[in-house]
Homo-oligomer: A and B are copies of this chain.
Amino acid sequence: MKRINVAICGFGRIGQQIAELLLNRSTYYKQKYQIDARLVGVCNSSSGLIDQEGLQASKWLDKTQYQAGLTEQKFLEKVQADVIIETGPSDYVTGGKGLFYLNYALTHSMHAIAVSKGALVVEGKKLINLAHQHNKKLFFSGATAAALPTVDLFEYNLAGCQILEIEGVFTGTTNFILNDMLQHECAFTESLEKAQAKGIAEPDSSFDVDGWDTAAKITILANTVLGADIKIQDIPRQGISHVTAEHIRDWKKENVIPRLVGFIHIKNLQIQTGVELRLVPANHPFAHLQGSNKCIRVLTQEMGEFVVSGGASAPLATAAAALKDFELMLKTGC
């Protein structure tokens, strides 16, 4: 049976959830793909843990087992992995450590799965080319709306189709806040605090509520799926923090629903992108999105329009998205 060694770089809540799910699915991989998948190493920002025979939860949960300094290049030099899964914090200016991990993996005979967005926002196109040059695979469902199918929608379900428009509600947090404001006719800050209390919004919420998170996903999709070359800073961008209870009351009277929408329109080979607060009619597919659900709408030349909704944010769903990528690697001959 072929052995595939996996290493996880960045070992917080999501990383640990991935490790657990990978272990739970061990028998499934053996039966379905005749693959013996083992987690051989994990590292966080300051230390790491390697066992080429395969790590079990008892070991990775025991902090005394970690070796200080076994991270970044030292970790990747030592661990013998076929696939790395990168789940560290995102740096949207330099790409940060995530970019280092992906670059190093792809140039040193490892396939890579990105869960964090930073590296792909900054160098998405270069990373795709790098993977291609080195005949390695780079998958990043986790970095583009996680459980909501986005990248794989174009790669598989709509393979071969000419894409005319992509738009969607890509940030679960802003959707939660707008829904809460609609329900309670309350102020933005009040709904934001609820989202923070529930762990849906980060303590620093500006990345989500100012539209950066949506812009990041639009950047990755445009540069990787459509081969564009845009910078996140160049995307015209609106947020939702200026929305007041009075706006909400007025919109309810007009029977329209506010949604923070990211879009890519393609016309005459020109790509136009943006993030805007849209007022959609009550029968629009974006109108019905409950809680922190997300949604993508795609218009194609050959197959018409598709709308996919779902993929609520949750650690297990994000972990399952990363391992979906792992399985797509197995299907396409990793």
Number of copies: 2
Bound Cα distance A35, B157 (Å)? 20
Cβ distance A102 to chain B, nearest Cβ, rounded Å: 22
What is the predominant secondary structure among interface residues of chain A facing chain B? mixed
B304 and A312 form a contact (CB under 8 A): yes
Chain B residues, CB < 8 A from A302: 21, 147, 316-317, 319-320
Q: Which of A52-60, A104-112, A158-166 contacts B (4 or more CB under 8 A)?
A: A158-166
Determine the chain B residues whose CB is within 8 A of the CB of A327 once the complex forms: 159-160
Contact A303 to B332, CB < 8 A, known contacts A152-B157, A157-B153: no
Which chain B residues lie closer than 8 Å to A183 at the CB level? none
Listed by A's residue number, 28 A-B pairs whose Cβ atoms lie within 8 Å are: A25-B160, A28-B160, A147-B302, A147-B303, A148-B306, A149-B153, A149-B157, A152-B156, A155-B156, A157-B324, A159-B328, A160-B324, A283-B288, A302-B316, A303-B316, A303-B317, A303-B320, A303-B321, A304-B310, A304-B311, A304-B314, A306-B308, A306-B310, A306-B311, A307-B308, A331-B332, A332-B332, A333-B333
Number of contacting residues on A, CB 8 A? Answer: 43
- Does A89 count as interface, using CB distance less than 8 angstroms? no
Apart from A153-B157, A332-B332, list 15 A-B contacts with CB within 8 A. Answer: A28-B160, A147-B302, A149-B157, A149-B306, A155-B156, A159-B328, A160-B320, A160-B324, A283-B288, A302-B317, A302-B320, A304-B312, A304-B314, A304-B317, A305-B312
